[in-house]
Structure 1
Amino acid sequence: MDLHAVLTPPLSFPLTPFAEDDTVAADVLVAHVEQQVAAGTSAVFVACGTGEFSALGRDEYREVVTAAVKTVAGRVPVFAGVGGGPAAARECLADAVDCGADGVLLLPPYLVSSTPEGILRHIAYVVADSPLPVIVYQRANARLSPATALALLDLPQVVGLKDGLGDIEQMQRIVATVRTSGHPRAAGFAFLNGLPTAELTARAYRAIGVGSYSSAVHAFAPDLAHAFARALDEGDDALVDQLLAAFLLPLAELRDAVPGYAVSLVKAAARLEGLAVGPVRPPLVEPTEEHVRELARIIAAGRAVLAGRAAR
């Protein structure tokens, strides 16, 4: 698997739809994943943070991953979220293998804080004997140092590092340490920007050698996500700035208004777009009616930017 080709942004992180009876809405999930692939994403990351991994039971997790794999049908790679404590994460990884995933995204361990060396031991414990490529998600209580990030290259299953911390200086140290290490896997090791609304920091991460990023926007407005990515690739700074000012910065400001909106706003936006994804599960909270109206205005403002560009 050529990770650099696979991880061309914007990457899709689909939602997990729930029906009125609080079961996984499998038909909606299939339609949602199909839309994501048809829009042109290079990889699908299912049952991850935006997909409410922590809210899923084990049978539901298997249902979601299996449905995504069958829907994608080999057109792009499917990565499945894996997480929890070390033993639970190993079981989850085995489920991802059994369900046909092409790789996994290892989420931070549940609750426990540790040192970078402890996090490295956790990663090694979880991925031991994994037949799938693993991308490690650095965020919250899972923080690596440059030395421990370099040590990931000695774990053949680990193929990349996704950063959700947002410490640009520290991430620059990690990237430079890996790339100049002389390790035989250094050149092919992948780095991803995994911050919420990652488009906001895409320029800064690109400047330190991290060109790939996850896109929550792709889950509800793939047209806007791809327009931004193209503008970034083509050096169209005017369009990048217009989309930031009209759409992405207001979206991030609304996201920051309430803890958990990074997921529940995305689900509300998908509903605005006509996809019956249902509510978020607790402890996440639904956006207020006022915030949903503001969300609709922000999405419309983003599309107005694209319409204005097309008219010119």
Structure 2
Amino acid sequence: MLKGILFFPVTPFAKDGSVDTAKLSEHLKAGIEAGAGGVFVACGTGEFHALGPEEFASVVRTAVRVVGGRVPVFAGTGGASALGRQYARVAEEAGADGLLLMPPYLVAGPPAGLVAYVREVVAASSLPVIVYQRGTARFDVPAALEVARLPQVMGFKDGTGDLDLLARIVTAVRADPATGGEEFQFFNGMPTAEGTQLAYRAIGVELYSSAVFCFAPETALAFHRAVTTGDDHLAQRLLAGFFHPLIALRERVPGYAVALVKAAVRLRGLDVGGVRPPLTDPTPGHLAELEEIIAKGAAIR
């Protein structure tokens, strides 16, 4: 069972374009020391889409070594089914504790096809799996139930923002003893998830991804404490003064959900390099705005 704030580290790149495992180790150590409840490497924020198999294995091995069993380490997998199976096996060999399965989002398949896809990838390793729905990869209630009944599937992460559908999925899955019932975990996987977490929490989804934790763990933890302890005043102040401005900046350019996070890590003093194409790094003007937003969050905190 996962709990607390979930850390989705960036993947640092050196000046020659290679994965910088030394900088990754620093980044991971800082997140663990700040109080992460779980580490999800080579996922969306970690540019899974841009990593080759050897790079992916290196990232997962580094995370497993640095974390040292203090919290669970989950690794991303997904894309084409053959690649999803390959990355699942690589993650298991590298010592990961679980997988975040990200189906191919540009292929519009029916729910039955998504279920078949999940079955194929899940069968490639013995690791527990969290299934991520986002973009065109959308499960209806019967398909979500079928996936949740798979013994290895321990959780379901939502990045669609369709709370009506998700509420019905949550109710159906938790009412079904074949899924593990209340033990089955749901996650808010929206970009800058804090911005929607109050709404997700209202339908029983308490866990969420925090990309902000990568560069402003103090602010991310302050918001998490406010939400979990019922400090609505602080939560609203952080939303108005930090998270909503960050979301507004993020929405100006496609891919900024990752690029801004990586830039913010650099602004806080760790040179993790830029993003790989097709993403682009923030403009100087946007970097200045980002720095102001980070400072405002610290002041509110």
Counterpart CA distance in 2 for 1:247 and 1:110 is 29
> Over aligned residue pairs, what C-alpha RMSD do you find?
1.0
> What are the Cα deviations for residues 85-122 of structure 1, in whole angstroms up to 9, with x where unaligned?
11110011000000000000001226322011110110
Q: Which moved more, 1:152-161 or 1:236-245?
A: 152-161
1:246 is aligned to 2:241: yes
Q: How far has the Cα of 1:184 moved from its partner?
A: 5.5
2:134 to 136, 139, 160: 139
1:7 alignment partner AA: K
1:40 is aligned to 2:35: yes
1:66 is aligned to 2:61: yes
Contact conserved, 1:108 with 1:140, CA < 8 A, in 2? no
Contact conserved, 2:89 with 2:124, CA < 8 A, in 1? no
Structure 1: runs of 5+ lacking an equivalent: 307-312
Secondary structure of 2:74 counterpart: strand
1:123 to 113, 118, 121: 118
Q: How far has the Cα of 1:272 moved from its partner?
A: 0.4
> What are the Cα deviations for residues 262-302 of structure 1, in whole angstroms up to 9, with x where unaligned?
00000010000001100000000110000000000000001
Counterpart position of 1:200: 195
Contact conserved, 1:108 with 1:141, CA < 8 A, in 2? no
2:128 alignment partner AA: P
Contact conserved, 1:161 with 1:191, CA < 8 A, in 2? yes
Counterpart CA distance in 2 for 1:290 and 1:129 is 45
Aligned sequence identity (%): 54
> What are the Cα deviations for residues 148-206 of structure 1, in whole angstroms up to 9, with x where unaligned?
11112321111100000000101001001112234361221110000001001111111
1:204-215 equivalent positions in 2, closer than 5 A? 204-215=199-210
Structure 1 segments (4+ residues) deviating >6 Å: none
Secondary structure of 2:12 counterpart: coil
Counterpart CA distance in 2 for 1:65 and 1:81 is 9
2:80 to 85, 99, 122: 85
Q: Which moved more, 1:15-24 or 1:123-132?
A: 123-132
TM-score, scaled to structure 1:
0.95
> What are the Cα deviations for residues 9-42 of structure 1, in whole angstroms up to 9, with x where unaligned?
x210000000000011111000000111111011
Secondary structure of 2:70 counterpart: coil
Secondary structure of 2:37 counterpart: coil
1:287 alignment partner AA: P
Distance 1:155 1:254, change over 3 A: same
> What are the Cα deviations for residues 55-105 of structure 1, in whole angstroms up to 9, with x where unaligned?
111110001000010000000000000011111100110000000000000
Counterpart CA distance in 1 for 2:35 and 2:171 is 31
TM-score, scaled to structure 2:
0.98
